Amino acid sequence: MWLRRLLGCAYKAEHFCTTTLRNRWKSYPSSVDTRHVFLCRKRRYSTIMAEEAKKLAAYAAVDNHIQARQLILQHGLSLSDLDRHPELDVAIDGADEVDSALTLIKGGGGCLTQEKIVAGCAKHFIVIADYRKDSKSLGQQWKKGVPVEVIPMAYVPVSRAIARRFGGEAVLRMAVSKAGPVVTDNSNFILDWKFEHAQNWKEVNTAIKMIPGVVETGLFVGMAEKVYFGMEDGSVKVRDPPLN
């Protein structure tokens, strides 16, 4: 019932915060993403999250980026953290792209490391996205590449190492509203690796993370348990991991 309520809340709201919700007395946490919900895009739904949040008064919320933290407080939810709640039952988040094996690209908004930490603390990781994020293989829809968070002093050697081993180009992400590169909540830089062809993403993820200076990648491999796609006609498409 609690998960159904959270999913219903996400589908109704135009924007909903990336959080991890944990029952104060029971272990029922969940994470919800700030992504646009296509089938509920009208402005009149912008207040629904606040109304639905009142039904979740028994839950505390663990943010995975600063904007989510602000939304949690704005909507009157009780804020917690992974120090107090290191084990989470369910995480619900969005994705920039999802392939047929439920491998995700995340980090278009720059919060990949904290999002992966939160997802990794959950027993179940559920993804909600619109139909435009649904791909047979990564790179089919999302053309901005795989985000890689790096220590600032290492961005040039990391960029060269990725391109040399896997091809393509790893470009420093530049800020739009200020001069200079994007700086993450962890005070790091982001490289966007624009790959040339499909890869063995598990091996790629492991190899990139072994490069000195890499903090985390935006590849979520083998983490998502189920994906809900909001379709253009208002229906919902559900995808489970392939049977091996």
Catalytic residue among 51, 52, 87, 115, which? 115
What CA dihedral angle connects 139, 141, 144 and 150, to 10 degrees? -60
- Among candidates 176, 175, 160, which has minimal Cα distance to 212? 160
- Among candidates 72, 126, 144, which has minimal Cα distance to 238? 126
- Among candidates 243, 40, 21, which has minimal Cα distance to 128? 40
Q: At 146, phi and psi to the nearest 5? A: -95, 120
Active site residue 149: no
Residue pointed to by tokens 């999250």:
49
Q: Where are the alpha helices (DSSP H) in the chain?
A: 2-12, 48-53, 66-74, 112-120, 155-166, 201-209
Residues identified as active-site = 115
